[in-house]
Structure 1
Amino acid sequence: MDILLKLDNDLVLEQLALPKGSMQLVDMLMANNVIAAVGHNGSSKASGGSAANTIHGLANLGIQTGFLGKVGKDEWGTFFRKDMEMKNIAPLLLESPNESGRAIALISPDSERTFATFLGAAVELTAEDIPHDLFADYTYFHIEGYLVQNQQLIKEALKRAREHGLIVSLDLASFNVVEDNLEFLREMVRDYVDILFANEEEAKAFTSGLEDHAALDWMGELCDITILKKGPEGSYIKYLDKVFKVGAIKANPIDTTGAGDLYAAGFLYGLIHALPMETCGHLALYSPPESLK
Structure 2
Amino acid sequence: MSSKFGVLTLGDAMITLNPEETGPLRFVNRFERKVGGAELNFAIGCARLGMRAKWLSRLGKDEFGRVIYNFARGEGVDMSDVAFVNGYPTSLNFKEIREDGSGKTFYYRYQSPILTLKPEDITDRMFEDIDLVHLTGVFLAIDPKNVDIAKRVMEIAKQKDIPVSFDPNIRLKLWSIEEARAVYLEVFPSVDILLTGLDEIRLIIGIDSEESLAEFANVNNIDQLVIKDGENGSKLYTNSVWHKKEAFPVTPIDTVGAGDGFDAGYIYGYLHGLSIEERLEFANGVGALVTTVSGDNEGLPYLEEVWPFIQNETVIER
TM range (shorter): 0.7 to 0.9
Give the Cα separation in 1 of the matches to 2:59 and 2:65. Answer: 5
Name the aligned partner's letter for residue 123 of structure 1: L
Q: Tell me by how many angstroms 1:37 deviates.
A: 3.0
Name the aligned partner's letter for residue 193 of structure 2: I
Q: Residue deviations 1:15-35, cap 9 Å, x none?
A: xxxxxxxxxxxxxxxxxxxxx
> Structure 1: any 5+ residue segments left out of the alignment?
13-35
Name the aligned partner's letter for residue 172 of structure 1: P
1:277 is matched with which residue?
A: 276
> Structure 2: any 5+ residue segments left out of the alignment?
1-13, 286-305
Equivalent residue pairs, number: 265
Q: Tell me by how many angstroms 1:140 deviates.
A: 0.3
Give the Cα separation in 2 of the matches to 1:277 and 1:125. Answer: 36
2:133 is matched with which residue?
A: 141
Give the alignment's Cα RMSD to 1 decimal: 2.6
Q: Tell me by how many angstroms 1:251 deviates.
A: 2.6
Q: Which moved more, 1:57-66 or 1:81-90?
A: 81-90
Give the Cα separation in 2 of the matches to 1:2 and 1:219. Answer: 37
TM-score between both structures, scaled by the size of structure 2: 0.75
Give the Cα separation in 2 of the matches to 1:267 and 1:136. Answer: 22
1:1-293 correspondence runs (5 A): 1-6=14-19, 8=22, 12=24, 37=26, 39=28, 43-46=32-35, 48-91=36-79, 92-97=81-86, 98-106=88-96, 110=101, 114=105, 116=107, 118=109, 120-148=112-140, 149=143, 150-174=146-170, 176=172, 177=175, 178-190=177-189, 192-207=190-205, 209-214=206-211, 216-221=213-218, 222=220, 223-286=222-285, 290=311
> What SS class does the counterpart of residue 274 from structure 1 fall into?
coil
Give the Cα separation in 1 of the matches to 2:248 and 2:31. Answer: 26
Q: Tell me by how many angstroms 1:248 deviates.
A: 1.4
- The 3 A distance-change label for structure 1 pair 179 and 228 is farther
Name the aligned partner's letter for residue 220 of structure 1: A
Q: Tell me by how many angstroms 1:169 deviates.
A: 0.4
Q: Tell me by how many angstroms 1:162 deviates.
A: 1.5
Is the Cα contact below 8 Å between 1:204 and 1:210 reproduced in 2?
yes
Q: Tell me by how many angstroms 1:199 deviates.
A: 1.0
Q: Tell me by how many angstroms 1:292 deviates.
A: 10
> What SS class does the counterpart of residue 255 from structure 1 fall into?
coil
- The 3 A distance-change label for structure 1 pair 104 and 174 is farther
- The 3 A distance-change label for structure 1 pair 103 and 123 is farther
Name the aligned partner's letter for residue 89 of structure 2: E
Give the Cα separation in 2 of the matches to 1:111 and 1:278. Answer: 35
Give the Cα separation in 2 of the matches to 1:210 and 1:271. Answer: 27
Give the Cα separation in 1 of the matches to 2:94 and 2:212. Answer: 30
Is the Cα contact below 8 Å between 1:270 and 1:280 reproduced in 2?
yes
1:20 is matched with which residue?
A: none
